[in-house]
Amino acid sequence: MPRPHLLTAALLALLLAGCGTPSRPLPMVVDPGDALQIRGWVPDALKAQVDVAPVQGGQPTGRWWGSKVGAVALQQALEDSLHAVGMKPAAPLPAPRFELQAELLQLDQPLLPAVGVSVAVAVRYTLLDKASGRTLYQRRIANQDEARFTEAMLSPSERLRIANERALRANIEQLLRDLVTLRP
């Protein structure tokens, strides 16, 4: 008969074990309902005129533990979100007038994810007019979001991934709401 403390230790090891779960672009994309609402406020000058420069920052997810956000995943989420609101053209020609630069500055996660996981992110965005080199918008957007234990009971890495994606989706949504107030 197994001893209770060995059974508890084995269960704890099972809960803490797990592979790293990288954040995915699609859950970071602005929700379709929000995209539809934002689309109606996009200034004419920004319609199909924003291109995304390669995203800076980000980290690959380790093989054994955790969840990080890679630059490629954030880039794809930004491009898809801009396209959803009508700011990014469907085809690259003719070249868009504006370039959005993004740098993932901060991804604060708990060292050991427990019951609920809260993740804080900060991204610096810069919108440039390519012709003049003039900066039209620059802001560091910081926010946080969480994932509850019940959303991924057996995988702390999965809870981290969910919290990462939610925080970045809210971050991108704030960016889009800021951009529609510009009058370039």
- Whether the per-residue pLDDT at 182 is higher than 90: the answer is yes
Residues 6+ apart with CB under 8 A from 118: 110, 144, 145, 146, 163
pLDDT at 1: 52
Q: What is the mean pLDDT of residues 149-159?
A: 76
- Residue 176 or 161, more confident: 176
Tell me the H-state helices in the chain: 4-16, 32-39, 71-84, 156-179
Q: Which amino acid is at 7?
A: L
- Whether the per-residue pLDDT at 18 is higher than 80: the answer is no
Residues 6+ apart with CB under 8 A from 112: 156
**Residue 151, in any domain of the structure:** yes
Angstrom distance (rounded) from CA 104 to CA 72: 11
Domain boundaries, position 87: 4-179
DSSP secondary structure string, 6-30? Answer: HHHHHHHHHHH--------SGGGSP
pLDDT category of residue 119 using cuts at 50, 70 and 90: very high
Q: Give, in order, the Cα–Cα distances in Å from 166 to each of 67, 119, 134.
A: 13, 9, 32
**Residue 22, in any domain of the structure:** yes
Q: How many domains does the chain have?
A: 1
**Residue 184, in any domain of the structure:** no
**Residue 67, in any domain of the structure:** yes
pLDDT one-digit tens code per residue, 30-83: 999 999 999 999 999 999 999 999 999 987 766 666 778 889 999 999 999 999
Q: What is the mean pLDDT of residues 128-150?
A: 93
Angstrom distance (rounded) from CA 2 to CA 7: 7
Please give the model's pTM, rounded to 2 decimal places.
0.85
Looking at the chain, the whole-number percentage of residues with pLDDT higher than 70 is: 83
176: alpha, beta or left? (left if phi > 0; alpha if psi -120 to 50)? alpha
Q: What is the mean pLDDT of residues 6-18?
A: 46
**Residue 20, in any domain of the structure:** yes
Angstrom distance (rounded) from CA 109 to CA 82: 27
Residue 139: other Cβ atoms inside 10 A: 14
Domain with 84 in it: what CATH number?
Answer: 3.30.160.150
